Chains A and B, each alone.
Chain A
Amino acid sequence: AQTVTQSQPEMSVQEAETVTLSCTYDTSENNYYLFWYKQPPSRQMILVIRQEAYKQQNATENRFSVNFQKAAKSFSLKISDSQLGDTAMYFCAFTWGVLIQGAQKLVFGQGTRLTINP
């Protein structure tokens, strides 16, 4: 079975600081994708960043980057120059499948509540 674990239920940092959210996963699959989703108070699920397991290079999206350690099954999210608008729940998620099928299911971690303080 595929599992995703986020060990930090809550985190809090000052505006402009850098923060790293942790995520570990367990799978025997070879072809999989990892995601970080942001859920602000509006409840909307917003894709922040994704990483293909076959790519060695870590994904980056502006102030968001990941540290993907495949052997350790670790997938952390780094937010640089944090902003008040980054305050949200962050979910790590995992999906797998052959390339032609694409993602049929997502498995989520428990979430990390991140607060950016002014």
Chain B
Amino acid sequence: NAGVTQTPKFQVLKTGQSMTLQCAQDMNHEYMSWYRQDPGMGLRLIHYSVGAGITDQGEVPNGYNVSRSTTEDFPLRLLSAAPSQTSVYFCASSHRGNYGYTFGSGTRLTVV
């Protein structure tokens, strides 16, 4: 049982480049979400999804896109990377009706 799998674990981008952070879960969870973690600010919600084909914005959505074509996958796209997007990114998933989230191991992204 792999749980929530994030790839890559580390990434360095140049300003203006685009990339996709991958997230997959094998627990048949309906809910998936992306958070970013910055020093002194805890984790903040970027985007979330309550099921395939349904996504919504969180607290800090600017500069990021998401889509959810399957229950298992929830990729996060950086359209044009900026140094302000340097952060650690976490994907998480949960069952509908459950109040516990399972987190991936995170992706450390540096934009230079």
Contact = CB atoms under 8 A, between A and B. Distances in A.
Interface of A: 4, 6, 9, 33, 42-45, 47, 50, 52, 91, 93, 95, 99-111
Given A103-B94, A105-B48, A110-B41, 10 more contacts: A43-B106, A43-B108, A52-B99, A101-B96, A102-B96, A103-B31, A104-B31, A105-B45, A111-B40, A111-B42
B88 interface: yes
Interface in B59-112: 88, 90, 92, 94-101, 103, 105-106, 108
Describe A's contact surface by its main secondary structure.
loop
Which residue, A43, A47, A108, has most C-beta atoms of chain B within 10 A?
Answer: A43
B27 interface: no
26 contacts: A4-B42, A43-B106, A43-B108, A44-B103, A45-B90, A45-B92, A45-B103, A45-B106, A91-B42, A99-B97, A100-B96, A101-B97, A102-B31, A102-B95, A102-B99, A103-B100, A104-B31, A104-B33, A105-B45, A105-B58, A106-B101, A107-B45, A108-B35, A108-B43, A110-B41, A111-B40
Q: How large is the interface on B (under 10, 10 to 19, 20 to 34, 35 or more residues)?
A: 20 to 34
A99 B33 CA distance: 19
A98 B70 CA distance: 25
Nearest to A106: B101
Which residue, B58, B94, B99, B105, has most C-beta atoms of chain A within 10 A?
Answer: B99
B42 A109 contact: yes
Nearest to B42: A108
Contact of A110 (B35, B42, B100): B42
Contact of B101 (A9, A43, A103, A111): A103
A52 B99 CA distance: 9
B88 A43 contact: yes
Contact of B97 (A6, A33, A45, A102): A102
A110 B15 CA distance: 28
A111 B106 CA distance: 17
B96 A50 contact: no
Contacts of B48: 104-105
